[in-house]
Amino acid sequence: MSPASAQPLLAIDDLHISFPTPRGELRAVRGISFQVEPGEIFGIVGESGCGKTVTGRSILGLVPQPGRISGGRIMFQGSDLTAMSQAELRHLRGNRIAMIFQDPSAALNPLFTIGQQLLGIMKRHDPGKRAGHLDAAVSLLADLGLPQPESLLDSYPHQLSGGMQQRAMIAMALAAEPDLIVADEPTTALDVTIQAQILDLLVALKEKRGVTIVFITHDLGVVAETCDHVAVFYLGQIVEQGTAREIFKAPRHPYTQGLLAALPSPDAGQDALKVIPGSVGDMVGDGVGCAFAPRCEFRMPHCDRQTPTLMPLGGQQQAACFLYDEIGEGT
């Protein structure tokens, strides 16, 4: 599947999201563009506060209040989500685009059974035929590796383990057979062994059902195992993107290099983990210059005066860094 042949399922074009604060506009997302092909897992990686969650939410038209999309377009199956009314978005949500959340114990309503929640979504997007929904729910839960699906439907979330809760959550995301699932840190709140199971499950969903997944995580190791394409976020911007293979084999942006070096690796034999010095900067202000410059070990004088844009580096890889820009050198 070459990237140019088919229309992308999701194309985000120069997206800006901002939040009003007493100190001024907080620009959480600053001109992000990426494309997600049908049937792939697209990884969004970054530290907390880099704008990855809010980007994921914007795909469902659920930017948390009082934030708003202040520019750009989100094209899904050829239509612009940012121009849609809430009613139109409600028709898409759960139906064509679904979401999986970080902490399943918080994302499941504690006072309703799994069955009530799952069947509620099915009924919403396909009214009528309740018996059919019940059968579909049972087989969906069984497909996701949940034992005794019939009795599970009558269980409340607190009666399930974390892994079962997340599987139930995934079942709700799949209830109306969506084309796209936004998975926001779906394994972060789980035990390591359960994490691996859920990741395998997501990859299996892609392969068996052809579901496209936008996978948001702070964990590069998880990205390497699951994703086809990756975008690395830093302070509301994409600093590097490409195929997962390209990025793990040859990370080009100093931030990506730092992230990879910070991964614990059994064969490196190092005593201490490498860290990226400094902390994530401020999102208020117009942000002239490279956002990563204050922490960057290759910082050059013009890094503070000019903002680098994504530059092609061969293959599908792109990085926003003056290290790879012959024009930037001259100024």
Partner 1 sequence: MSRIEYLARRAALAVFVLLGVLLLTFIVSRVIPGDPARLYLGSRARAEAIQQVREEFGLNDPLPQQFLRYVGSTLSGDLGYSFRTKRPIVEDLRTRLPATMELVLVSTVLAVTIGVPLGVLSASQAGKAFDQFSRIITIAGVSIPSFWLALLLQLLFFMTLDWLPLGGRLSRDILLTDPFTQVTGFFLIDAALAGNWEAWRDALWHIIMPAAVLATYPISLSVRMTRASMLEVLSETYITAARASGLSEIEILFKLALKNAIVPTLTVLGLVFAFSITGAVLVEIIFSWPGMGSYMLNAILSDDVYVLFAVTLIVTIVYIIVNLLVDFVQAALDPRIRMGGGSEA
Chain contacts with partner 1 (rule: CB under 8 A): 60, 62, 64, 90-95, 98-99, 101, 103, 106-112, 120-121, 124-125, 156, 158-159, 169, 172-173, 175-176
Residue closer to partner 1 by CB (options 30, 133) is 133
Burial label, 56 (beta-carbon count in 10 A; 0-12, 13-18, 19+): buried
Distances in whole angstroms, Cα of residue 131 to Cα of each of 118, 151, 156: 13, 16, 21
CB nearer to partner 1: give 64 or 312: 64
- d(CA 234, CA 276) in angstroms, rounded, equals 13
Least separation in angstroms between CB 153 and partner 1: 14
Q: What's the distance, CA 37 to chain centroid?
A: 14
Nearer to partner 1, 113 or 197 (CB): 113
Helices within the chain (DSSP H only): 52-58, 86-92, 104-107, 114-125, 130-143, 149-153, 162-174, 192-209, 220-226, 244-249, 254-261, 326-330
Least distance between partner 1 and beta carbon 98 (Å): 7
Q: Which is nearer to partner 1, 168 or 320 (CB)?
A: 168
For residue 86, the minimal CB distance to partner 1 (Å) is: 8
2/48 with CB nearer partner 1: 48
Q: Are 77 and 6 in contact, with CB atoms under 8 Å apart?
A: no
Phi first, then psi: what are they for 245, rounded to 5°? -60, -50
For the CB of residue 102, give the shortest distance to partner 1 in the complex, in Å.
8
Burial code of 244-253, b = ≥16 C-beta within 10 A, e = fewer?
A: bbbbbeebbb
CB of 287 to partner 1, least distance (A): 28
Question: What element of type H or E holds 176?
Answer: none
Cα 49 from chain centre: 13
Nearest approach in angstroms of CB 111 to partner 1 is 5
State in angstroms the smallest separation of the CB of 82 from partner 1. 17
Which lies closer to partner 1 via its Cβ, residue 45 or residue 98?
Answer: 98
Closest CB to partner 1 among residues 73, 124: 124
